[in-house]
Structures are given as structure tokens and as C-alpha cells.
Amino acid sequence: MGVWRKWIFPILRIAVFAAIAIALVKVAFFPDVSAEADPAVPTGSITEPVTEVALGAITTTVVVDGSVAADPASPARATLAGEISVVPVSVGQAVNAGDSLATIRQEIPQEPIANTDADGNVTMTQPKVKYKTATVTAPVTGVVSSVPMLVGQIVAVGDVIATVAPPTFSVTGPIRPEDQFKLVQQPTEGQVEVVGGPGAFTCTGLTISSPLAGAEPPATDPSGTPNPSASGATVRCAVPADVRVFAGLTAKLTLAGGSVENAMTLPVTAVKGNAVSGTVWVVGKDGTSEERAVTLGLNDGTVVQITDGIAEGDSVLEFVPVVDATDPAQGNCIEQPDGTVFCDESVVG
């Protein structure tokens, strides 16, 4: 044991320290020779992500923010020019469709009758006055909301004799033009949820209407609230008679746009375009991409249906290529020192 302490351990310590000293000298004075990287030459590579056309199911829905509105009153108009002889109703009275609201009479001119006596004297006799009458009836079942005419008043054809407000309601709201693309077939009903009201129910008779060019839509809807659809399309559907609602309630109307199974799909990020037609970039076996036109179907906001232009299993770029706005070949655009891009529109296309 004394030999180990006196000779072996000291020699091992000296050998270890000598190895450390030699390593330090090599690192300091004899570094490994390696090629210095040129900072002007990029050393990384960019690989664009690729996705494949796959089969899947797509279901689209459109949610419209709307409100409950009382259906507008229906006017009862005169069909005969003449004098109002009878008004058997008053405001607030309940009537059924076809009930009499007023009677109009029109005097029919009569030619005088000539009578000759035995002496040859001629006398003229005015015959009894005759009248032609017409009954103005209630166009719908409801409550008489106005009677602007009085007995004895002269009216013309088309004048409003009275209005009848039906006891029915509708859900109405504006629909965005881009959302109409999701409705492959226009639905005839929708699912309604009324905030603070009854549970979800189905409304029927759904229509989508747009103001005609040159027409002036009303500034308010039938409930008296500002009309947000004055410049766009409006969805309207009827509330069932057994559902209790009130005008002015906020509602969400969900429309079924369509659904499809086993459809060719791609992420919306891979397609330039959202409806009807679009463009994708198909990646070939050599890694190059080719721009290709495709036909689009349903779109749920995440994936889009491809009905023509590519096949299942084709590889396409997952993201639509972005044109470099600073490339002079792309519209004569130049990046400014502050990072903004200026394009000379006088040179563009």
C-alpha cells in the first residue's frame, strides 16, 4: 500500500495534468482547419408544405343574425270608383279573410225618358237613380289596424280603404353576398333560436330577396327598427302559429347550405378562390408546381370540395404562393427604405 501512495498515485496525477496541458496547447496554437462559411451565401433551404387531395365529408351552414318582426299589415283597396256608403268595421276589430270592410257605390247615369200625350205634348221623366256597388273585403285574417275612409267619401280605384294586421310573425335578417355562395340549393326552412324566448324551432316559407336596381328600400323594417338590409339581400321565414314570440326579439337563423360524402377536398389555404371556380398549384414528381384551374363545390371555411380539375391523391401546395410585391417584374413595385412598397400604377398591366 505504501508503494501506491508513494509512487503510483503521484505518477498518475502527473500524467493527467500533462494530458490536460497538451490539449490546451493544441487548442490554443494548432486549431482544426475548416472552411469559413460565406455570409453572402445562404446555407438553409425552404421547403414549401404540400398536401394531398383526400376524400372527406363537408357540411355547410349559414348563420344569420336577425330579429322577430310582426308581419306587415295588408291593405284593402277600392276596386270601384265612387262613394263609400257603408263602413261596418272599426280599428281594433278582429276580422276573417273575406269579411266586408266597406261598400262602395257608383251612380250609373240614366237617360231621361220622353213621354208624349194625346195632344202631342212631350214631357221628359228622369228615371230612378241606379247604383253599381262593390264590397271591399279583408285580404287576410287579423285585426283592423286603420280605416282612413269615411262614409260619403269619394274614392278612386286603388285607394286604401282599410288595413288588416295579421297575428303572425316572421324572422328576418340580412345575409352577406359571400354567404349565399354556400347555399348550393336555396333552403325552404331554417332553424331559429330566439334570445330570451322559446326553444329552437323550425321556420318555414323561407325566402331570400334583394332590392331591385333603382328601388328605394324602406329605412326601417316592419317592426320599426332600422333596416340593415337596405343595400343587400334579406332572409325571411314564417314563425309557426303555435310558437309565442314578440316583435323586436333577437334571433339567430341557421340555414343548411348542403352536405356531401366522399368528396375530394383540400384545405381552403391551398385554393385561390372560395366559390364556383379556383386555382391550385399541383406538385409534380420532380418537385415543381403547376398552376391548374379547378371547379369548386361546398366550402365549410376549413376545407373546400373540388369537383373537377384534379384527382384523389394529387399533391398540391398547402398554401397559395404569394407574389413578391418588391419584384420589379410584378407590377413595377419597389420597396422603400421604411419597408413600404410603392407601385407605379402607370406601368402596371
Average pLDDT over residues 26-36: 61
Residue 341 pLDDT greater than 60, yes or no: no
In which band, very low, low, confident or very high, does the pLDDT at 104 lie, cut at 50, 70 and 90? Answer: very high
Q: What is the pLDDT of residue 347?
A: 44
Residue 94 pLDDT greater than 80, yes or no: yes
| DSSP characters over 249-317 | -EEEEEEEEEEEEEEEEEEGGG-B-SSSEEEEEEE-TTS-EEEEEEEEEEE-SSEEEEEESS-TT-EEE
Q: Which of 59-73, 97-111, 169-183, 273-287 has the lowest mean pLDDT?
A: 273-287
Q: What is the pLDDT of residue 164?
A: 95
The torsion of the CA quartet 193, 196, 199, 202, rounded to 10 degrees, works out to -30
Q: What is the pLDDT of residue 229?
A: 45
Q: What is the pLDDT of residues 261-270, one digit of tens each?
A: 888 888 888 8
Q: What is the pLDDT of residue 43?
A: 57
Q: Are strands 50-52 and 169-175 parallel, antiparallel or unpaired?
A: unpaired
% helix, strand, coil for the chain, step of 5: 10, 45, 45
Residue 128 pLDDT greater than 90, yes or no: no
Q: Which residue has the higher pLDDT, 101 or 309?
A: 101
The partner residues of 105 in beta bridges, in order of sequence, read 83, 133
Residue 223 pLDDT greater than 50, yes or no: no
CA torsion through residues 66, 70, 76, 77, sign: negative
Q: What is the pLDDT of residue 147?
A: 93
Average pLDDT over residues 63-77: 93
Q: What is the pLDDT of residue 228?
A: 47
Domain residues of the chain, as ranges? 62-70+169-258, 75-165
Average pLDDT over residues 45-55: 78
In which band, very low, low, confident or very high, does the pLDDT at 222 lie, cut at 50, 70 and 90? Answer: very low
Cell of 93: 276589430
User: Within 10 A of 221 (CB to CB), how many other CB atoms are there?
Assistant: 24
What's the mean pLDDT when you consider all of the chain? 80
What is the rounded distance in angstroms from the CA atom of residue 83 to the CA atom of residue 242? 41
Q: Which residue has the higher pLDDT, 220 or 114?
A: 114
Residues near 262 by beta carbon (within 8 Å), at least 6 away in sequence: 55, 56, 57
Q: Which of 72-76, 217-221, 242-246 has the lowest mean pLDDT?
A: 217-221
User: Within 10 A of 263 (CB to CB), how many other CB atoms are there?
Assistant: 18
CATH 2.40.50.100 fits 75-165, yes or no: yes
In which band, very low, low, confident or very high, does the pLDDT at 340 lie, cut at 50, 70 and 90? Answer: low
Up-side HSE of residue 173: CA atoms within 13 Å toward CB? 22
CATH of 62-70+169-258, one of 1.10.3470, 1.10.260, 1.10.287, 2.40.30: 2.40.30
Q: Which of 112-116, 182-186, 335-339 has the lowest mean pLDDT?
A: 335-339
In which band, very low, low, confident or very high, does the pLDDT at 78 lie, cut at 50, 70 and 90? Answer: very high
